[in-house]
Structure formats: C-alpha cells, structure tokens
Amino acid sequence: MSRNRAQRRHNTAKYKAKAVRRENAVHLDARRALSSRDIGILANNATLCSCPMCGNPRKHFGNASQTLQEIRANDSFADALSVL
C-alpha cells in the first residue's frame, strides 16, 4: 500500500491536532495562543524549546544526569574491579 499526498496531509493534520491538545493539557494557561509555526514545531519535535526543563538534561548538566541503566552498569563495573 503506497502513501499518497492525501494520506500525508491527513497524518500531518492529525499530528498537529494532537500536538495542540498535548500542549493545552500541559500548559493550563489558555490565554497563550500557539502560532502556526509553533504548532508545526510541536507536531515534529514535541517541545518548543531546549531549555533545561524541556530539553535533554545531558546537554545542560553534563554527565551528572545518568539513566538508571548507566548507574547500575557503573556500580556493577566498580564491584567487578573491587573483586579483582
């Protein structure tokens, strides 16, 4: 089944509507109007900015914010070194 222009337009409209609903649920301030540019960004990226609250914490805080998997791996590595 090939995608045609109508399907792509339908999906884009669906993603934009979902982005508006998600943004309105997160920000309860209904006075804040989203521009069409903001809606397009939200439909593709899920966040308008890359500040420390919205963006990737590693970009702003460096290695200080590790995932649980990384913390466990480092702990097991340290335990393996202490056994040797």
Q: Kindly state whether residue 53 falls inside one of the protein's structural domains.
A: no
Could you give the C-alpha distances from 24 to 11, 15, 27, in angstroms and in order?
Answer: 20, 14, 5
Q: Kindly state whether residue 37 falls inside one of the protein's structural domains.
A: yes
**If 0-12 CB within 10 Å is exposed, 13-18 middle and 19+ buried, where does residue 41 land?**
middle
Q: What's the total number of domains in the chain?
A: 1
Closest CA to 32 of 8, 48, 51, 56: 48
Residue range(s) defining the domain that contains residue 24: 5-48+58-83
Residues 6+ apart with CB under 8 A from 74: 66
pLDDT at 48: 66
pLDDT tens digits along 30-84: 566 778 888 888 888 877 677 777 777 777 777 667 778 888 998 988 888 887 6
